[in-house]
Structure 1
C-alpha cells in the first residue's frame, strides 16, 4: 500500500506487526481499528498507557506500550522497538522531525499532502491509518458511526442551527479562542453552530488566536464554550473578566469542568468526538435554554 503524505508517497507493509504511534491521537485510532502499538505518545495526557477513559475495554492494550514522549520523542527508544511502521499522521509536519524518524529506515506515515501542523482532521487521520494498517473496512465503519452520531445530535437539537459560538480556553495568565480548521470548531459546526465571525477574522496559521484582557468582548456569542488548560474550571468561571462577557452574564456559557469531557472535546479522534457529543451536547442545550 502506497499512501501520499506531505513528504511524498510512503509504502507501508501489507500487515504491519510492530507499530509505533507518535502523532496526536494516532495510538487511539490504531486501537480503535484493532491494532495495538508497541510504542506510543500520550498527547492529552492521561498517564499510564495513554489510553483515555472513553476507549472500550475490548479495544485497550493487552500489553502496555513503551511511552516515547510527545513533543520530544525518545529516538533511541523508538529504534529499540524495531518498528515496521511509524504513525505520525497528526503532528507538527516539520521536516527535521520527519527526517529523524525516516532515518531509522522505517516507513513514516506523516501528515497528509498539503496538510498543516496538527490540523489533520479526524476523518483524514482515520482514513490514512486505516489504509496503513490494512483496516480500511473497519475505518469506514467507524467513520459511518461517527457521522451518524453527528447527524442524530444535530437532528435532536434544531435550535443549535445558525447560532454563533466561541470555543476558547484559558491557560495560566492568558485566554485564547479556536478558529476553523481545528477539531473543536468543526465539532460545533457539525452540530449546527456557526463560528464567531469576529474570532475567525483574527485567524492565522495556528488553530487558535490569543485573546487579550482588553478584547474579552470577542468571547460574546450565542454560546461560549471554554476548556481549562493547566488551570481549574473555577479559574475561568470566577474570573471577573470572563464574567463580564454578556453571553456569560446571560448564562449562555459552558466551562468544561470535568477533565475527561474536556479531553474528549479536544481529542479530535473518532471515539473522542463521539464521547464528546454524548457529554457536551446536554451541557450546551442546558446553557442555551437559560
Structure 2
C-alpha cells in the first residue's frame, strides 16, 4: 500500500509525496558493548530486520536514505553527504528546523529509485535506511559495497520505525549513543510536559487522515503522526486500528469519510489547498466537523514537522500543534 500511495501522490505533485507518507529500542551494540554505549567503541553491530550489520569504524561519510534519517544524523552532529528528500523540501533537503545544522548542501539521491552508482560516487562509510519500506531488495546493489542500517528487528509496518528506534539505530551506527540517549530523554520529557499541560487529551479518541485527489486515508499505530498523538494522551480510534494490516496507512474512499470521525479529527491536504479541504462538504458532514472538533492543518511547516518523525521535527511540532488541538476540543 505504501508503494501505491507514494506513486499516486507523486502523480499529483512532488510535494504531495512528502505529505502522503511518512516502540522503542531495536538495536544493541555487540562486541565491545560498553565502549559503544559510551559513544565511540567500534566495531559495532546494529541489529536490523535483515540481520546484523557490522560497522568497523566510526563513519565520516554518511548517506541518509530513510525517511528523516538525515535529520536524525544532524541532531547527533553528523553531516550527511547525501540524502533522500522524502518530504520534498527542496534546497538542502531537510526541514527548516534542521537547515542551520547543515554546513553544506548534501546530494539529493531521490526517494523511490535511488541510483546505486550515485551512492557509490559519494563513497559512504554507511547508509542509513532506518525508516523505510523494510524490503531487503530495495537497496540490493548498495548492500554489496557498503553497510546499510535498516529498520530494527520487530518493525513489521512499512515505514513504521518510531522516532526512538530511529535515534537508537542511527546513534549506534554513528558512534553517538550517549548523545542519542540524551536526545530521546529530552524529547520524552518534552512530551510529558506538554501532556501534563493538556490533561484534556487523555483518553480522547483521535483520527489522523489525509485527503489527496478523490481519495482519503487514515493513519494507524506505527505511523509517526499517530505515535505523536498517542504520546500526548490521545487514543487512536479503535475502528481505524482494526483496519490496519502491515501498512501504516489505510486507504479509503470518499464515501468512507465518516471513518475519520472521532473525539478529535486531524487532517491535512495532499495536492490541494488547505482552504479547499476546509470547505469540503463531505468532510464537514462528519459529526466531529459539525461539532467543531475538526482540525485542518494548513501551515505547511507544521504539517511537515508533524509528519517528519524526527526528534528535530517533532520538537518543532510540539511548539504549535497541541494548542491547535486543545482549541478544537474546546476544553
Whether 1:125 aligns to 2:166 is yes
Whether 1:179 aligns to 2:220 is yes
Instruction: Give the secondary-structure state (helix, strand or coil) at the position aligned to 1:69.
Output: coil
Q: Describe how 1:161-180 pairs up with structure 2 within 5 A.
A: 161-180=202-221
1:54 equivalent in structure 2: 97
Unaligned runs of 5+ in 2: 1-43
Instruction: Give the secondary-structure state (helix, strand or coil) at the position aligned to 2:210.
Output: strand
Instruction: Give the secondary-structure state (helix, strand or coil) at the position aligned to 1:240.
Output: coil
Unaligned runs of 5+ in 1: none
Task: State how far apart, in whole Å, the 1-side matches of 2:193 and 2:82 are.
Answer: 36
Whether 1:87 aligns to 2:136 is no
TM-superposition CA deviations, 1:151-210 (whole Å, max 9, x none)? 011000101111111111101111111111111111111111111112112111211112
Instruction: Give the secondary-structure state (helix, strand or coil) at the position aligned to 1:147.
Output: helix
Mean Cα deviation higher: 33-42 or 227-236: 227-236
The structure 2 residue matched to 1:27, chosen from 70, 92, 96, is 70
Whether 1:223 aligns to 2:223 is no
TM-superposition CA deviations, 1:204-260 (whole Å, max 9, x none)? 121111222222221211110011122211221111000101110111111110000
Instruction: Give the secondary-structure state (helix, strand or coil) at the position aligned to 2:208.
Output: strand
1:108 equivalent in structure 2: 148
Whether 1:256 aligns to 2:297 is yes
CA contact (8 A) 1:13 1:84 kept: no
Q: Looking at both structures, which has the greater relative contact order when contacts are Cα pairs under 8 Å and sequence separation is at least 6?
A: 2
CA contact (8 A) 1:170 1:176 kept: yes
Whether 1:10 aligns to 2:53 is yes
Q: CA RMSD in A?
A: 1.3
2:113 equivalent in structure 1: 72
Q: Describe how 1:233-272 pairs up with structure 2 within 5 A.
A: 233-272=274-313
Q: Describe how 1:134-145 pairs up with structure 2 within 5 A.
A: 134-145=175-186
**Runs of at least 4 residues of structure 1 off by over 6 A?**
none
Task: State how far apart, in whole Å, the 2-side matches of 1:190 and 1:115 are.
Answer: 19
1:190 equivalent in structure 2: 231
TM-superposition CA deviations, 1:79-102 (whole Å, max 9, x none)? 111111111111112121232211
Count of aligned pairs: 287
CA contact (8 A) 2:92 2:99 kept: no
Task: State how far apart, in whole Å, the 2-side matches of 1:25 and 1:282 are.
Answer: 25
CA contact (8 A) 2:206 2:262 kept: yes
Task: State how far apart, in whole Å, the 2-side matches of 1:55 and 1:38 are.
Answer: 15
CA contact (8 A) 2:214 2:254 kept: no
Residue 150 (structure 1) shift: 0.6
